[in-house]
Amino acid sequence: MTTTLQPLTGKRVILLGGSSGIGLATAKMAAAEGATVVIVSGNRHRVDQALKELPEGSEGYAVDLGKEENIRDFFSSTGRFDHLVYSAGENLVLSPIAQTDIRQAQEFLTIRFWGAFAAVKYSAQLINEGGSIGLTSGVASFRPGAGWSMASAICGAMEGFVRAMAVELSPIRVNCVVPGVIRTPLWDSMDPLERDKLFNQVSNNSLVKRVGLPDDVAEGFLYLMKQRNGTGQSLLIDGGAVLV
């Protein structure tokens, strides 16, 4: 049987949010399959540290993804490439709506949604034939909990955006990965005891009885790069969280 998956050998993959967590795990997997990877993050130190974990020839840039002009300027000098992955986001903060500062909540959209929007806006014309865009959502859009108002809103907006871009940017494939709770540095702003309580609860309630790891989600991003026929889709990688 002939495989329908495209190899990544010789492909160029740009990962915004690629210096840690899911982004770095995806960069490592893509590089291991022969891709040249370019990682982008707002923190120069984290970029430099991540490059030490990637093969020679990998590139890394410090770009403030909260500003449209910075994203525009970055893509003005990248040249053509094959796949875009956007997984950037700040530390998660959960709060009941009655205790939510709306102005502060609006800031969560800056990198997670508007940064992705700008990345697609300025990169789409640079993507080679057969290429793809992979964005990041989350299970809060399918199964929100108390305190997840902003997370749910952002994830729902991202999935709608993905479908719209799949139509508008055809034949570029545009999809998103929808992780459940994943053990990454994004949870570091939580009180350690509360974070451990959350992870234990997720593990106990999960159908697979474990908390997801960055590699689990990275495998999803690689699949979306390599497959040929799926676009406008949201790929759930959540340990069955939406089913229980």
pLDDT score recorded for residue 92: 66
Question: In the sheet that 36-41 helps form, which strands lie side by side, from edge to edge?
Answer: 59-62, 36-41, 12-16, 81-86, 127-136, 173-179, 234-237
Backbone phi, psi, residue 140, to 5°: -60, -25
Tens digit of pLDDT at every position of the chain (244 positions): 556 688 999 999 999 999 999 999 999 999 999 999 999 999 999 999 999 999 999 999 999 999 999 999 999 999 999 999 999 987 767 789 999 999 888 888 999 999 999 999 999 999 999 999 999 999 888 888 888 898 899 999 999 999 999 999 999 999 999 998 887 777 777 778 877 888 888 787 888 888 888 999 999 999 999 999 999 999 999 888 888 8
Other C-beta atoms lying within 10 Å of the C-beta of residue 97: 12
pLDDT score recorded for residue 1: 52
pLDDT score recorded for residue 231: 98
State the pTM of this model.
0.92
Structural element, H or E, at residue 127 = strand 127-136
